[in-house]
Amino acid sequence: MKTKLLYFIPLVILFACNTSEKKVVEEKIKTESDYLIEGKQIAEATFNVLSKNLKNAMAEGGVENAIKFCNVNAMPLTDSLSDYYNVNIKRVSHKPRNLTNEPTALEQHIIDDYLALNVVGNMQPTIAKNEQQNNVFYAPIPTKGLCLSCHGIVGETLLPEHYETIKKFYPNDKAIGFKEGDFRGMWSITFKQ
């Protein structure tokens, strides 16, 4: 009986080791390139959802309705997409409209690097580790033509009456004065470990 047990124990250990090694091989270790690809996909999907809803709000009630829509719905939409993708999606800016979009110290450093490049076309997405050692995808958000209705220059592309509505919802607003193509902020997408 002892002899059979001596043969059986090494087989169990061998099987356990092989199963453990197989599990490690099956778990894919993400590279920076993987995070860049996934980050771009998430940023694009989030932009499309926000943009589509914003366009619908504008079609239903103009810029005033779009401002109200963003105030109530932009963060919940972003949060629901964060849950869906199992990440933390933020839009941060050097000129935030919503105080929750103020950058952390690391995000401000990356924003400063983007601003130093001066041309959005020169700004490339990047991956960096945050203070908690999570991988974070950062990518510039350029100002599109549609954005100018709420983020443009007051009296030119942003009507003064629309800016008055913005100030009612966002009394500390700094997110104006942009021209098409300007760097308006960036995506900050934190991958959970």
Q: What is the pLDDT of residue 120?
A: 76
**Of the candidates 47, 55, 52, 49, which has an alpha carbon nearest to the alpha carbon of residue 150?**
55
Q: Confidence class of residue 127 from pLDDT cuts 50, 70 and 90?
A: very high
Check residue 43 and give its pLDDT. 97
What mean pLDDT, rounded, does the chain reach? Answer: 87
Residue 70, pLDDT > 80, answer yes
Mean pLDDT of 177-186: 95
pLDDT at 7: 45
CA distances from 62 to 49, 99, 100 (A): 18, 24, 25
For 30-52, what is each residue's pLDDT tens digit? 899 999 999 999 999 999 999 99
Name the pTM for this structure: 0.82
- pLDDT for res 119: 76
On the question of pLDDT at 9 being above 80, the answer is: no
Instruction: Name which of 19, 38, 70, 56 is nearest 135 in CA terms.
Output: 38
DSSP state string for 42-102:
HHHHHHHHHHHHHHHHHHHHHHHHHHHHHHHHHHHHHHHHHHHHTEEEEEE-SS-SSGGG-
Locate 150 and state its tokens.
């709420």
Average pLDDT rounded to a whole number, residues 92-113: 94
Strands, sheet with 87-92, edge to edge from the N-terminal-most edge strand: 87-92, 183-191, 135-142, 126-129
pLDDT tens digits, one per residue of 154-175? 999 999 999 999 999 999 999 9
How confident is the model over 114-123, as pLDDT tens digits?
A: 999 877 778 8
